Amino acid sequence: MTYKLWYWPGIQGRGEFVRLAMEAAGIAYQDCARERGADALVALMHEMTGRTPYAPPFLDTGEMVIAQTANILLYLGERHDLIPPAPADRYWLHQVQLTIADMVAETHNVHHPIAGSRYYEEQKEPAKAYAEQFREERMPGFLGYFEAATRANEGDWLIGDRWTPADTSLFQLVAGLREMFPRRMHTLEKAMPGLIALHDRVAAGLPGIKAYLDSDRRIAFNADGIFRHYPKLDGT
Amino acid sequence: MTYKLWYWPGIQGRGEFVRLAMEAAGIAYQDCARERGADALVALMHEMTGRTPYAPPFLDTGEMVIAQTANILLYLGERHDLIPPAPADRYWLHQVQLTIADMVAETHNVHHPIAGSRYYEEQKEPAKAYAEQFREERMPGFLGYFEAATRANEGDWLIGDRWTPADTSLFQLVAGLREMFPRRMHTLEKAMPGLIALHDRVAAGLPGIKAYLDSDRRIAFNADGIFRHYPKLDGT
């Protein structure tokens, strides 16, 4: 059957990491809440029993429902041979994927340092303080780690000689941080040539991604998603 | 060889989730930074090249170094047959494990809402606001999800008829939240009998855990770890 992806319809969000891997691999999927609306997603979550997701995104494979972005990507990687079979390679890629998830969570905290359920406008002051340490400490730390990860392989990709979901995820992370912190990224990118080359390779070198980014399936960055451009939170 | 676990020596922290699984399974390990000090851990991280961890905990298996708590537990589960082999079961358990990791990260944010690198005393006001929404919204949400997870299986454990690392992790999560939020947990526990029963079963029903908790290998909760008791951040 065609996979059913469930995620909030108006944003890229965490769902985008799943979409990108499926688009790159040419895996067919229905983006259910974009077709049926957010209410259908909420209603479904209320109806589900047993092994339920805590939050979107989740993927209905027909045999099971899998939640947690990195877990969905692990499933797709194993099921569709997108990742190498050697255990050491699998755990390494999953480690990188989970570290991407950590950075994404902290990126969301930048504009929601107090409560995810309240508006940014209600937490602008702590957001300013959070953003400062994020720009100064966390961005160099995480991005330096991902830069080093690109150098741990001699090939063009994070591992071996082909892309994996961790590569498409790093593309999205770089694209999102450029959207959210254009000034800061302008400074930091000088020290991360491997990561930028990887970003460019995913954007231009994978036919599935190129077609996706040009399509209306790619939701534009916007002020409801994780990677939001608030100029006051950016800085060199 | 004996596994080498590397984690900050003075706290339970994220390393504790790894320790508990190994203690329950009777897997031999060296807790390296407790033997050699935090400086040895820092020095090692500076020396490492190639596929390096972003942060502790990490496990040196002799063949590879694995980081990210949930990833280490996935490795131990697969390598030592601590988890069922069926894919649907594996992804379900990993989903729960990753959701535990999400709650642990938010729990740390309670006392460090602005910057992990600065003292709690420097961020007490935002911590108060963060703690309020965490107690009111996030604790019922996450714990309600874990309670439902215990009911998704007819047996005594989260899955099948034996414990897995997700069970020992839920034990630690409940124990930690009781330490940090005694008043709030007193209220919430009434609605989570399955989760409390699971906590008790891990504490008293697994010989390896019972011996560990009685040993000096178990570091006590303290004001440097994730689960810290600041009475001002608690509430009914």
The pLDDT tens digits for B117-163 are 999 999 999 999 999 999 999 999 999 999 999 999 999 999 999 99
Q: Which residue of B has its CA nearest to A50?
A: B152
Report DSSP letters for A20-52, one per residue. HHHHHHT--EEEHHHHH-HHHHHHHHHH--SS-
Q: Are strands B3-6 and B58-60 parallel, antiparallel or unpaired?
A: antiparallel
Residue A93 is predicted with a pLDDT of: 98
The pLDDT assigned to A217 comes to 97
Using alpha carbons, select from B155, B114, B16, B138 the residue that is nearest to residue B72. B16
Token representation of residue B201: 């079963």
The pLDDT of A16-22, averaged and rounded, is 98
CB contact under 8 A, B98 and A68: yes
For B50, name the nearest residue in chain A, comparing CA atoms only. Answer: A152
Q: Which residues of A touch B (CB under 8 A)?
A: 50-54, 63-64, 66-68, 70-71, 74-75, 78, 87-88, 91-92, 94-95, 98-99, 101-102, 105, 109, 113-115, 117-118, 126, 129-130, 133, 137, 141-142, 145, 148-149, 152
Question: Best mutation site among A17, A114, A130 for testing chain B: the one with the most B CBs within 10 Å?
Answer: A114
- Does residue B29 sit in helix, strand or coil? strand
Distant-in-sequence, close-in-space partners of A182: CB < 8 Å, separation ≥ 6: A229, A234
**Torsional sign, CA B25, B26, B32, B34:** positive
Mean pLDDT of chain A: 97
Residue A37 Rama label (left phi>0; alpha psi -120 to 50; beta): left
End-to-end C-alpha distance for chain B, whole angstroms: 48
pLDDT band at A24 (very low <50, low <70, confident <90, very high): very high
How far apart CA A68 and CA B102 sit, in angstroms, is 10
Say how far apart CA A156 and CA A200 lie, in whole Å: 11
Rounded Cα–Cα distance for residues B165 and B22 (Å): 9
Amino acid occupying residue B128: K
> Are the CB atoms for B95 and A74 separated by under 8 Å?
no
The full set of domains in chain A, from first to last, is 3-79 (3.40.30.10), 87-233 (1.20.1050.10)
A221 has a pLDDT exceeding 80: yes
The verdict on a CB contact (< 8 Å) between A148 and B75 is no
Say what the pTM is. 0.98
Read off the pLDDT band of A99 (50, 70, 90). Answer: very high
H helices of A112-225, where? 124-133, 139-151, 165-180, 182-188, 193-205, 207-213
Residue B1 has pLDDT above 80, yes or no: no
Amino acid in position A103: M
What confidence tens digit (pLDDT) does each residue in B186-217 have? Answer: 999 999 999 999 999 999 999 999 999 999 99
Q: How far is B66 from chain A (nearest CA, A)?
A: 7
Q: How long, in residues, is chain A?
A: 236
Q: What is the mean pLDDT of chain B?
A: 97
| Strand B65-67, strand B58-60: pairing | antiparallel
Which two three-digit tokens encode residue B168?
């020992």
Based on its alpha-carbon atoms, the radius of gyration of chain A, rounded to whole angstroms, reads 18
pLDDT confidence of residue A174: 98
Rounded mean pLDDT, B88-110: 98
Beta strands A29-31 and A3-6, pairing class: parallel
Contact A5, A57 (CB under 8 A): yes
Please name which of A43, A41, A39, A15 lies closest in space to residue A29, comparing C-alpha atoms. Answer: A15
Closest chain B residue to the Cα of A151, Cα to Cα: B50
| B206, B24 contact by CB (below 8 A) | yes
Both tokens of residue B191? 């609605």
Sheet holding B3-6, edge to edge: B29-31, B3-6, B58-60, B65-67
Q: How big is chain B by its Cα radius of gyration, in Å?
A: 18
Give A173-213 pLDDT, tens digit per residue.
999 999 999 999 999 999 999 999 999 999 999 999 999 99
Whether the predicted pLDDT of A1 surpasses 80: no
Q: What is the ipTM of this complex?
A: 0.97
Chain B residues with CB-CB distance to A67 below 8 A: 95, 99
Residue of A nearest to B137 (CA): A117
